């Protein structure tokens, strides 16, 4: 239920992301999704990859500051109002979302969520029958 | 115009005689009233009796900024604290500031030498003088204030900042002389243009700029933008503050008030005296101060001295522009910053690696001050808010020690160059010489 996301600290410099993509590509690691949180001088690149352990290792070898962060990936019907409903459930449970991002795959959408209370978030989403993706399912998307 | 013709235009022979008498008196004073000085002189096997002629000054040990720190706060006073009427301070090489105590007599000397400066700039009792140096522990504000009062000018103690109001008062009250740092003057110059007041409605004629190094290029820009005559005022907190020296209308070197502050030029490596005209480290002995006289204080400023009489009529020695420093001190927005201070703060923050880089530049006439730091791998966070919080914390901790706030940049691990020998930690991009 819990997915390892890679978070990489990057300075806002030309070619930094290119290099990360190249390193992962050469290691045979596939990216499923990514997002960047940034300000004027640095960014935090957040990646869902096919093999987070190996990804972390190769990036560390290249001296990147990488951390593995636990997130949940929720499958959300690709239709109006479905996200709002899920968000309502999380909020009402008193769980705060540090950040989230989404991507669509086929007919469904996947929302990656970083809550402040991971266990509770999983629990309420499960209780409300919202589908959480396991790592094996996610990387097949 | 000359404020004190007797002192400023004295023959070389008379000046040397006067300096000799005053030096001897000061050596006696510190020897008998300041324990660290007495001990130091005894260690060097020199007593006041050994100082008979001016040349004998070389027998005296040097005083350094480190001594001021080691005997912080009152150790180097040569009078009881009851005689001290004012304290000023400047930043030291580590967390502790350098503290200087003034007696009432010392304050009198300070305003006297300040009066010589302002008079040389053509200011007098009919002029409104706006003091836009910061008031406080920094010697700029109160130093210029005392000088302006001494010549009988009308002081406008605006201190620094609040630029719009500065311009309004400058316009409405008819400011003739502006005293501030040259970088703030450039800032005010732009504000003056933006204010919409026509230049003809201002009375401004003279700028007394100092406390940080500036170039002929900046002088030209200031004179053109403000349509004034811009003069350098020189000083150091340790010696007294602004007023140690000044330019005259010839602007061919900085006249030193050598009847109060006896200058020498020494080889920065060996400490040996150098002949007139040769460049070396400037050393001052205060020969009239009571509170905290300093003997052979090493300024770390590199310059040369010219004993030829000046076309303005003054005979006082002139120093050339400061050509640099023989230590790593930076002057940023008028504040002394030592890389060692930055290092001490950064090493105290567990989240950081002991690698950093200081980058100083001048953008739109204001000094920029950046510190690049590497975060320890364990502490890179996935959350932007935490990274920003860390950055803010580092900036605040640096500010509390340095008094000015740097722009802190978090950089990727191992991205700061590791050097084999002496690390190049400072990049000063300002073109000042």
B16-49 pLDDT, tens digit per residue, is 999 999 999 999 999 999 999 999 999 999 999 9
- Among residues B87, B106, B105, the alpha carbon closest in space to that of B97 is found at B87
C-alpha distances (whole Å) from A129 to each of A74, B151, B159, B167, B191 are 11, 86, 66, 67, 64
Packing angle of the helix pair B12-33, B35-43 (nearest 10 deg): 100
Strand-pair category, B407-411 with B366-375: parallel
**Cα Dmax for chain B:** 73
Flag whether residue A56 sits within 8 Å of chain B, measured between CB atoms.
no
The boundaries of the domain holding residue B197 are 5-327
Q: How far is CA B4 from the centre of its chain?
A: 24
- CATH assignment of the domain containing A114: 3.30.2130.10
Same structural domain, A50 and A102? no
Q: Which candidate, B228, B209, B165, B158, places its Cα nearest to that of B191?
A: B165
Sign of CA dihedral B38, B39, B42, B44: negative
Number of C-beta neighbours around residue B420 at 10 A: 5
Contact at CB, B388 and A39, closer than 8 angstroms: yes
Pick from B327, B351, B386: which residue ends a domain?
A: B327
Which ranges of chain B have pLDDT less than 50?
A: none
Q: Which residue has the higher pLDDT, B418 or A10?
A: A10
Query: Do B156 and B61 belong to one domain?
Result: yes
**Chain-chain contact of B413 with A98 (C-beta, under 8 angstroms):** no
Domain boundary among A27, A52, A69: A69
Pair A12, A49 in one domain: yes
Contacts within 8 Å (CB) and 24+ apart, B9-14: B9/B313, B9/B314, B9/B315, B9/B316, B10/B259, B10/B315, B10/B316, B11/B315, B12/B307, B12/B315
Same domain, B96 and B67: yes
Note the pLDDT of residue B333: 84
Q: Name the minimum distance, in Å, from the CA of A105 to any CA of chain B.
A: 25
Q: Does A44 touch chain B (CB under 8 A)?
A: yes
* The predicted structure's pLDDT at residue B93: 54
Q: What is the domain extent for residue A37?
A: 2-69
- Sign (positive/negative) of CA torsion B309, B311, B312, B313? positive
- Residues B100, B75 contacting (CB under 8 angstroms): no
Sign of the C-alpha dihedral computed for residues B91, B94, B96 and B99 taken in this order: negative
CA distance A103 to chain B (A): 20
End-to-end Cα, chain B, rounded Å: 29
Please report the number of interchain residue pairs, chain A to chain B, with beta-carbon separation below 8 angstroms. 48
Q: ∠ at Cα B322 (B296, B357), nearest 5°? A: 100
* Residue the block writes with tokens 């204030």: B145
Whole-angstrom Cα distance, residue A53 to residue B237?
58
Give B203 or A107, the one with higher predicted confidence: B203
Our count of domains for chain B comes to 2
Structure tokens at B110: 């300070």
Last residue of a domain, one of B272, B298, B327: B327
Query: How far, CA to CA in Å, does A7 sit from each of A44, A71, B352, B384?
Result: 6, 11, 19, 11
User: How far is B278 from B211, CA to CA, in rounded Å?
Assistant: 24
Do residues B339 and B399 both lie within one domain? yes
pLDDT for A39 equals 87
Residues of B in contact with A39 (CB under 8 A): 384, 388
Examine the domain organization and report whether B270 and B402 are in the same domain: no
pTM (2 decimals)? 0.70
Has residue B188 been placed in a domain? yes
pLDDT band at residue A25, thresholds of 50, 70 and 90? very high
| Burial per residue of A6-26, b for 16 or more beta-carbon CB atoms within 10 angstroms, e otherwise | bbbbbeeeeebeeebeebbee
Predicted complex ipTM: 0.81
As to burial, measured by CB atoms within 10 angstroms (0-12 exposed, 13-18 middle, 19+ buried), residue A131 is: middle
Is residue B268, in this structure, part of any structural domain at all? yes
pLDDT of residue B423: 60
C-alpha separations of B61 from A100, B55, B350 in Å: 67, 14, 41
Last residue of a domain, one of A50, A69, A88: A69
- Residue where a domain terminates, one of A23, A42, A69: A69
- Do B343 and B321 share a structural domain? no
CATH for B364: 3.30.300.30
Considering the domain architecture, whether residues A41 and A100 belong to the same structural domain is answered as no
Q: How confident is the model at residue A125 (pLDDT cuts 50, 70, 90)?
A: very high
Q: CB-side exposure of B423: number of CA atoms within 13 Å?
A: 13
User: Do A63 and B412 lie within an 8 Å CB cutoff?
Assistant: yes
Which residue among B382, B410, B413 places its CB closest to the CB of A42?
A: B410
Six-digit token string for A77: 């019907």
CA distance B234 to B177: 17
Would you call A41 and B409 a contact, using CB atoms and an 8 Å cutoff?
Answer: yes
Chain Cα centroid distance, residue B299: 10
| Residues A48/A112, Cβ–Cβ less than 8 Å | yes
Outline where B237-382 has alpha helix (H). Answer: 339-347
Whole-number pLDDT of residue B217? 77
Count of structural domains, chain A: 2
Helix or strand or coil: residue B338? coil
How far, in Å, CA of B336 to CA of B321, rounded? 18
Q: What is the pLDDT of residues A47-86, one digit of tens each?
A: 999 999 999 999 999 989 999 999 999 998 888 898 999 9
Burial string for A63-101 (b: 16+ CB within 10 Å, else e) reads ebbbbebebbbbbbeeeeebbeebeebbeebebeeebbb
Mutate to test the interface with A, among B355, B357, B370, B382 (most CBs of A within 10 A): B382
Across the interface, whether the CB atoms of B380 and A65 are under 8 A apart is answered yes
Phi, psi dihedral angles at B337 (to 5 degrees): -125, 125
Q: Which residues of B335-359 are buried (b: 16+ CB within 10 A; e: fewer)?
A: bbbbbebbbebbeebeebbebbbbb
Exposure of B22 in the CB half-sphere (CA atoms within 13 A): 20
> How confident is the model at residue B354, as a pLDDT?
75
**Of B294, B327, B360, which residue constitutes the final position of a domain?**
B327
């Amino acid at each position: 239920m819990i997915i390892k996301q890679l978070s990489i600290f990057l300075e806002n410099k030309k070619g930094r992301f290119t290099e990360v993509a190249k390193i992962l590509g050469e290691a045979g690691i596939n990216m499923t999704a990514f997002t960047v949180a940034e300000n004027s001088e640095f960014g935090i690149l957040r990646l869902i990859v096919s093999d987070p352990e190996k990804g972390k290792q190769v990036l560390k070898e290249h001296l990147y500051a990488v951390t593995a962060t636990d997130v949940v990936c929720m499958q959300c019907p690709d239709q109006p109002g479905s996200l709002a409903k899920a968000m309502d459930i999380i909020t009402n449970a008193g769980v705060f979302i540090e950040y989230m991002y989404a991507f669509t795959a086929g007919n469904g959408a996947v929302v990656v969520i970083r809550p402040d209370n991971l266990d509770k978030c999983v629990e309420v989403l499960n209780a409300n029958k919202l589908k959480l993706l396991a790592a094996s399912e996610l990387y097949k998307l | 115009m000359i404020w004190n013709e007797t002192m400023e235009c004295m023959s070389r022979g008379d000046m040397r005689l006067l300096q000799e008498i005053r030096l001897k008196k000061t050596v006696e004073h510190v020897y008998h009233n300041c324990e660290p000085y007495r001990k130091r002189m005894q260690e060097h096997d020199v007593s006041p009796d050994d100082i008979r002629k001016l040349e004998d000054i070389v027998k005296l040990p040097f005083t350094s900024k480190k001594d001021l720190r080691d005997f912080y706060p009152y150790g180097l006073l040569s009078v009881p604290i009851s005689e001290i009427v004012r304290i000023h301070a400047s930043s030291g090489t580590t967390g502790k500031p350098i503290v200087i105590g003034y007696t009432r007599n010392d304050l009198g000397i300070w305003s006297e030498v300040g009066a010589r400066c302002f008079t040389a700039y053509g200011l007098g009792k009919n002029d409104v003088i706006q003091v836009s140096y910061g008031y406080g522990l920094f010697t700029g504000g109160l130093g210029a204030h005392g000088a302006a009062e001494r010549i009988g000018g009308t002081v406008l103690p605006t201190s620094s900042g609040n630029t719009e109001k500065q311009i309004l008062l400058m316009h409405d009250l008819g400011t003739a002389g502006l005293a501030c740092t040259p970088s703030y003057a450039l800032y005010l110059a732009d504000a003056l243009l933006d204010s919409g007041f026509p230049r003809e409605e201002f009375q401004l004629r003279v700028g007394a700029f100092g406390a940080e190094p500036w170039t002929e290029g900046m002088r030209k820009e200031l004179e053109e933008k403000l349509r004034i005559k811009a003069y350098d005022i020189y000083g150091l907190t340790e010696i007294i503050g602004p007023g140690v020296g000044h330019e005259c209308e010839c602007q061919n070197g900085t006249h030193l008030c050598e009847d109060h502050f006896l200058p020498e030029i020494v080889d920065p490596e060996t400490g040996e005296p150098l002949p007139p005209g040769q460049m070396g480290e400037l050393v001052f002995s205060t020969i009239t101060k009571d509170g905290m006289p300093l003997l052979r204080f090493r300024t770390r400023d590199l310059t040369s001295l010219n004993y030829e009489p000046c076309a303005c009529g003054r005979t006082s020695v002139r120093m050339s522009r400061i050509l640099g420093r023989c230590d790593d001190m930076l002057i940023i927005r008028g504040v002394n910053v030592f890389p060692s201070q930055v290092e001490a703060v950064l090493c105290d923050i567990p989240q950081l690696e002991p690698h950093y880089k200081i980058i100083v530049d001048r953008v739109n006439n204001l000094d920029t001050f950046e510190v690049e730091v590497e975060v320890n791998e364990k502490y890179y966070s996935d959350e932007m808010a935490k990274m920003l919080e860390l950055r803010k914390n580092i900036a605040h901790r640096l500010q509390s020690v340095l008094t000015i706030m740097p722009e802190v940049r978090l950089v990727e691990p191992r991205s700061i160059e590791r050097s084999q020998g002496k690390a190049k930690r400072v990049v000063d991009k300002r073109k000042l010489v």
